[in-house]
Amino acid sequence: MNPAIYNPSSTVSRSTPTMTFGAARTPAGCRLSHLQLLEAQSIHILREVASEFERPVMLYSIGKDSSVMLRLAQKAFYPGPIPFPLLHIDTGFKFREMLTFRDEVARSIGAELLVWRNEPAIRAGTNPIKLDTKRCCGLLKTQALLDGLRHYSFDAAFGGARRDEEKSRAKERIYSFRDSTGQWDPKNQRPELWNLYNGRIHPGETIRVFPLSNWTEMDVWQYIHEENIPVVDLYFAKERPMYVRGDVLLPIEQEFMALPGEKPQMVKCRLRSLGCSPCTGAIRSNAETIPDIIAELISFRSSERANRVIDHDQEGSMEIKKREGYF
Amino acid sequence: MATLATETFPIEQFLAQEREKDLLRFSTAGSVDDGKSTLIGRLLYDTQSVYEDQVRCIRGKGSTAPGQIDFALLTDGLRAEREQGITIDVACRYFSTARRKFIIADTPGH
Ligand SMILES: Nc1nc2c(ncn2[C@@H]2O[C@H](COP(=O)(O)OP(=O)(O)OP(=O)(O)O)[C@@H](O)[C@H]2O)c(=O)[nH]1
Ligand SMILES: [Mg+2]
């Protein structure tokens, strides 16, 4: 069987718990593990949005969080199909393995996959060396995302962002309200009590929805392990050619990243978080399996976004990107 | 922390322990400048739930004496919060101990 095809009998948590989040509501004798609670909360959110909004879409970024979110969407509507399309914002700098994986996953689960690119910017040769990373992200990610959402008139977009990833993301609601220009105003967020989500919007306004808000990186890997969810091979350690600059391992995907005369070296490494190849560093690692990754995670002293150049280009850079419409 | 020898990592035993953990959600409540965020930041720090790069980011900043970490900056994630030294909106943070997983909502003073 193709592991990408969700089959409920093959998974560890056999039933889909339908109760809402919070141990207090668990009926006597029915104890959910924390992963099952997180799963139940996420499924509740996915169903709420699917029933409340006209045109939801799932932003599918191919990484581990998206892979978990996709599995949750399959579970939420099983045995029916996922009732919304997947949208991938392709910057043109995604790893080749990611794109192959994306198409294979969409095909194997029968999901509708949309891809949006900021073609004018890509044709103009936008890259993080020519521009700075901030403007490059602004064009290839944020602008592309806003244009793609507007093009299809989506009113709700699921994203796999987690609050534990970054300090400004810790400030997000699960339903993150965006004005008609797609912007986030962190000082003017709606109350969100327990599992009550306010989905009221005017025409042109949208919400971003984060079903994995309460998941940590550890939860995500445990769930991938327990549910046998396929993930891109780049997460696993292998000998790969890299430009080595001190502690930084830079993938050789894009030639313009090489310094004059720089030669790649073979290094056993893996990626902890998948982004655009020019701005995502690898880490030295021997973790070849998911249990290895979980073991490695326990020993980590740096955050998963430490190797993302774009988070460090200025003070509060994620917050600024989010305000501009990034997710 | 020492790096674990991955060959011997007992994954099933670890996951079984994780499955036994409860999830507790709690929130701070108190007046402005009572030290809510500082306390939460300290809890995160002491349970090793913050990473070195996150601590590095806040060293030498904030309202504490030189050489001391202003732990409130770990939860005050917005620029305006860090500039003004107050919590403006709720932050949800996560940490776990051997027995429990925690979700903390750090609230603004009221
Ligand atoms: N002396 C002393 N100062 C403290 C202690 N805890 C916090 N502070 C100081 O009190 C001030 C306010 O701390 P915060 O943690 O930001 O207070 P808060 O309750 O989160 O404030 P708001 O979120 O704005 O309501 C800061 O200058 C802290 O350094 C403490 O235990 N002892
Ligand atoms: Mg505070």
Q: Which domain holds residue B68?
A: 22-106
Mean pLDDT is lowest, of A151-155, A165-169, B60-64, for: B60-64
Task: Return the residue in B14, B74, B78 with the most chain A beta carbons within 10 A, the one to mutate for interface testing.
Answer: B78
Residue A10, pLDDT above cutoff 70: no
CA dihedral A130, A132, A138, A141 (to 10 degrees): 70
E strand or H helix that includes residue B106: strand B100-106
Q: Are A169 and A163 in contact (CB under 8 A)?
A: yes
* Phi, psi for A248 (deg, rounded to 5): -90, 130
**Residue at B49 is within a domain:** yes
Q: How far is the CA of B57 from the centre of ligand 2 (A)?
A: 18
Query: Both A240 and A216 in a single domain?
Result: no
Q: Which one, of A119, A128, A241, A218, lies nearest residue A165 by Cα?
A: A218
* CATH number (domain holding residue B28): 3.40.50.300
* Structural domain count of chain B: 1
Q: What pLDDT score was predicted for residue A54?
A: 96
What letter does residue A308 receive in the DSSP assignment?
A: B
Contacts of A96 (CB under 8 A, 6+ apart): A253
**C-alpha of residue A325 to centroid of ligand 2, in Å:** 26
Q: Which of A5-9, A323-327, B38-42, B95-99 has the lowest mean pLDDT?
A: A5-9
**Confidence class of residue A15 from pLDDT cuts 50, 70 and 90?**
very low
Q: Give the pLDDT mean for A34-38.
A: 93
Assign residue A102 the CATH number of its domain.
3.40.50.620
Helix (H, G, I), strand (E, B) or coil at A225: helix
**pLDDT value, residue A125:** 94
Predicted complex ipTM: 0.90
Instruction: Measure B52 CA to nearest chain A CA, in Å.
Output: 5
Using the predicted structure, report yes or no on whether residue A119 has a pLDDT greater than 50.
yes
* Mean pLDDT (chain A, rounded): 89
pLDDT tens readout for residues B17-34: 999 998 889 999 999 999
Q: Tell which atom from ligand 1 comes closest to the C-alpha of B40.
A: 15
| Exposed/middle/buried for residue A194 (C-beta within 10 Å: 0-12, 13-18, 19+) | exposed
Same domain, A85 and A198: yes
Binned at pLDDT 50, 70 and 90, residue A16 comes out as: very low
Q: Band of the pLDDT at A29, cuts 50, 70, 90?
A: low
The phi and psi torsions of A129 (rounded to 5 degrees) equal -90, -45
Q: State what percent of residues in chain A have pLDDT above 70.
A: 90
DSSP A23: G
Mean pLDDT (whole number) for A115-120 = 98
Selection from A41-50, A295-304, B38-47 with the highest mean pLDDT: A41-50
Give the residue, by CA position, lying nearest to ligand 1 atom 14.
Answer: B35
Q: Which of A208, A183, A217 is nearest to A324 (CA)?
A: A183
Domain hosting A137: range is 34-220+318-324
Confidence of residue A120 (pLDDT cuts 50, 70, 90): very high
Between CA B9 and CA A295 the distance in angstroms is: 7
Residue B72 CB–ligand 1 contact under 6 Å? yes
CA distance to A189, A196, A201, A205, B80, per residue, from A192 (Å): 9, 6, 15, 18, 21
Can you tell me the distance from the alpha carbon of A12 to that of A223, in angstroms, rounded to the nearest whole number? 9
Return the structure tokens found at A258: 């090489």
- The protein residue with its alpha carbon nearest to ligand 1, atom 12, reads B33
What separation in angstroms does the CA of A160 have from each of A274, A325, B43, B100?
13, 15, 26, 24
Structure tokens at B77: 């994630």
Q: Which residue of A has its CA nearest to B25?
A: A22
Atom 32 (ligand 1): residue with closest C-alpha?
Answer: B35
Q: What percentage of chain B reaches a pLDDT higher than 70? A: 94
Contact A71, A4 (CB under 8 A): no
Pair A165, A102 in one domain: yes
* Residue B17 located in a structural domain: no
pLDDT at A6 over 70: no
User: Taking CA atoms, what residue in A is nearest to B44?
Assistant: A164
Residue A209 pLDDT greater than 80, yes or no: yes
B88 lines ligand 1 (CB under 6 A): no
User: B90 in contact with A at a CB cutoff of 8 Å?
Assistant: yes
Q: pLDDT, tens digit, for every residue of A258-292?
A: 888 889 999 999 999 999 999 999 999 999 999 99
Residues A54, A168, single domain; the answer is: yes
pLDDT of residue A313: 64
Q: Does the pLDDT value for residue A24 go beyond 90? A: no
Q: Provide the number of structural domains found in chain A.
A: 2
- State how far the Cα of B89 lies from the Cα of B105, in Å rounded to an integer: 10
